[in-house]
């Protein structure tokens, strides 16, 4: 299992201070919408300057018509990130179009599909997708695999059933992790590290429990010790 730290602090400077504090650890860094919109490619370079071994997950959750998603994915190739994601609900054809566009590159980042956002409660999800989270997450995972993606973003509660219906190296990445039972915030479906490990999750994403802590490096160490 790998730990991915969400860089969701309000300013670039605060994110850089956080990265400095955890730079000795073997972790992935997740750059989300706010940070990327505000700080852009320069910020990605700044991360690699602090430690070139940091792996970067660009969490932009692409969702558009197939050609526009593929255009965006091709632009992402120029950023040198190690992982990015798209929404599975954009459809199988959109995911296939993205993967076909990346075929011309010698190597490419890991590409994941978002199934159900971990902030969804079951009834809220039902109102949008007219399906249970579990059922839809399984279907999205199959679509993503058929389209040639490497894995999905899901909650730790869906990881096991997705692993059961996909190939052995199909990956799951799970946000909504509260490593030691911390406050859930707006997340509706949260799990701890031990649960994620037991469900064969490949990547856990942890944001607030790390960056809101007095000692982020210590929280990172404690999480890694559980792996």
Q: Residue numbers of the site for ligand C5P (CB under 6 A)?
A: 6, 8, 32, 59, 114, 117-118, 153, 175-176, 185, 187, 205-208
Question: Which is nearer to ligand C5P, 109 or 207 (by Cβ)?
Answer: 207
**Nearest distance from C-beta of residue 125 to ligand C5P, angstroms:** 11
Between 52 and 220, CB nearer to ligand C5P: 220
Tokens coding 168: 């052995």
Q: How far is the CB of 8 from ligand C5P (least distance, A)?
A: 5
> Which SS3 state, helix, strand or coil, does residue 2 take?
strand
What gap in Å lies between CA 11 and CA 191, rounded to an integer?
28
* Nearer to ligand C5P among residue 14 and residue 67 (C-beta): 14
Give the nearest distance from C-beta 104 to ligand C5P in angstroms. Answer: 28
Q: Which two tokens stand for residue 85?
A: 């994601």
Q: Are the beta carbons of 42 and 16 closer than 8 angstroms?
A: no
C-alpha to C-alpha distance for 93 and 198, rounded to whole angstroms? 33
Nearer to ligand C5P (CB atom), residue 97 or residue 155: 155
Longest dimension (CA), the chain: 46
Measure CA 33 to chain center. 12
Choose the catalytic residue: 12, 21, 48, 61. 61
Number of H helices, E strands in the chain: 10, 8
Cβ pair 149, 167 in contact under 8 A? no
> Does the annotation mark 61 as catalytic?
yes
Q: Which residue is nearest to ligand C5P (CB)?
A: 207
Between 85 and 145, CB nearer to ligand C5P: 85
Asked if residues 143 and 115 have their Cβ atoms less than 8 Å apart, the reply is no
E strand map for 17-139: 28-32, 55-62, 83-87, 110-114
Q: Which residues are catalytic?
A: 61
């Amino acid at each position: 299992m790998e730990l991915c730290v969400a860089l969701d602090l309000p300013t670039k400077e605060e994110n850089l201070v956080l990265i400095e504090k955890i730079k000795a650890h073997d972790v992935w860094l997740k750059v989300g919408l706010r940070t990327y919109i505000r700080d852009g490619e320069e910020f990605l370079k700044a991360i690699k300057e602090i430690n070139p071994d940091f792996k970067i997950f660009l969490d932009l959750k692409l969702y558009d018509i197939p050609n526009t998603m593929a255009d965006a994915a091709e632009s992402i190739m120029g950023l040198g990130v190690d992982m990015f994601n798209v929404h599975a609900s954009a459809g199988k054809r959109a995911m296939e179009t993205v993967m076909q566009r990346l075929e011309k590159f010698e190597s490419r980042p890991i590409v994941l599909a978002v199934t159900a956002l971990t902030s969804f409660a079951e009834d809220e999800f039902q109102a949008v997708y007219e399906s249970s989270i579990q059922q839809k997450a399984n279907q999205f995972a199959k679509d993503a695999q058929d389209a040639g993606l490497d894995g999905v973003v899901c909650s730790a509660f869906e990881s096991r059933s997705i692993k059961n219906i996909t190939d052995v190296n199909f990956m799951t990445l799970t946000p909504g992790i509260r490593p030691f039972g911390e406050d859930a915030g707006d997340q509706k479906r949260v799990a701890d590290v031990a649960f994620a490990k037991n469900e064969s999750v490949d990547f856990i994403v942890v944001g607030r429990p790390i960056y809101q802590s007095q000692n982020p490096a210590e929280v990172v160490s404690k999480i890694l010790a559980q792996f």
